[in-house]
Amino acid sequence: MKLIFMYFVAVLKFKAKMKRIVPLVATVLLLFLFTTAASAQEDLVRVFRWYIPNDAQFVTVADGEYQDGQLINWGWTQKTLLFFAYRSPGPGRVAVYGWSNPVTRAHISICEDEFSDDQMLKWGYTQKHLQFYALTRRGSNTVCVYRWLVDKHNCWITVPEEGNTDYLIKKGYRRKFYQYYGIYRNVDAPIYDQL
């Protein structure tokens, strides 16, 4: 009888400990998951396209590369969100650099190893700077990103895949060139974490 009583006491003590341990383990697990998701979100950077009416040029700019007020002071307009990319390197990512040509006032974003630095300098481009890291492979919630040449103004424009691109050809865009994959995010993305 004493043995049965000791067994029930042990079971009750175990259940009491479990009532404290289960919430603790669940809390630690949830904290880990939220921290991991938050750090993934912090690594993302928005990528915008701006238009420079004085030069009839387009420029691709990562969030934080310049301050919006500074760009507006320079006369840049039509800020358009294109896609999301990464701030840091990682597997399956390629570095994207921004260059500008002080003579033609053209801006271009190119992937590392797309052209050598010597070639870019020969073409008159200077001020190379790292903008972001883009994906090299298609995945869920990605969008293919192309660079087009606008013949009329001899400038480059970054355009995410938008289905039928005939309207771009009618606008005088030529030399469509695949660059990389961006992350497409919509308003509901933070809710569903579609990354």
Lookup: tokens for 104: 């033609």
The pLDDT, as a whole number, for residue 102 is 85
Q: How many other β-carbons are positioned within 10 Å of the β-carbon of residue 141?
A: 16
- Domain range spanning residue 176? 45-187
- The residue type at 124: G
Scored b (16 or more CB within 10 A) or e, 65-97 reads beeeeebeeeebeeeeebbbbbeeeeeebbbbb
Using an 8 Å Cβ cutoff, are 83 and 48 in contact? no
**Total count of domains within the chain:** 2
Q: Under a CB-based contact definition with an 8 Å cutoff, are residues 66 and 73 in contact?
A: no
Q: State whether 5 and 67 are in the same domain.
A: no
Q: Express each pLDDT in 3-25 by its tens digit.
A: 676 766 666 676 766 666 555 44
Residues 105 and 19 placed together within one structural domain of the fold? no
Give the span between the Cα atoms of 35 and 33, in whole angstroms. Answer: 5
Q: What is the DSSP letter of 184?
A: P
pLDDT (tens digit per residue) in 48-75: 988 888 877 888 888 878 777 877 888 8
Q: How far is CA 105 from CA 23, 35, 108, 154, 156, in A?
A: 61, 43, 10, 10, 11
Q: Do residues 133 and 177 both lie within one domain? A: yes
In a domain, 110, yes or no: yes
For residue 29, what is the enclosing H or E element? helix 2-42
Do residue 10 and residue 106 come from a single domain? no
**Which pLDDT value is given to residue 194?**
42
Mean of pLDDT values over 92-96: 91
Instruction: Judge if 72 and 153 occupy the same domain.
Output: yes
Looking at the structure, tell me whether residues 38 and 66 fall in a common domain. no
Task: Identify whether residues 178 and 103 lie together within a single domain.
Answer: yes
Give the predicted TM-score (pTM) of the model. Answer: 0.67
pLDDT of the residue at 86: 92
pLDDT band at 164 (very low <50, low <70, confident <90, very high): low
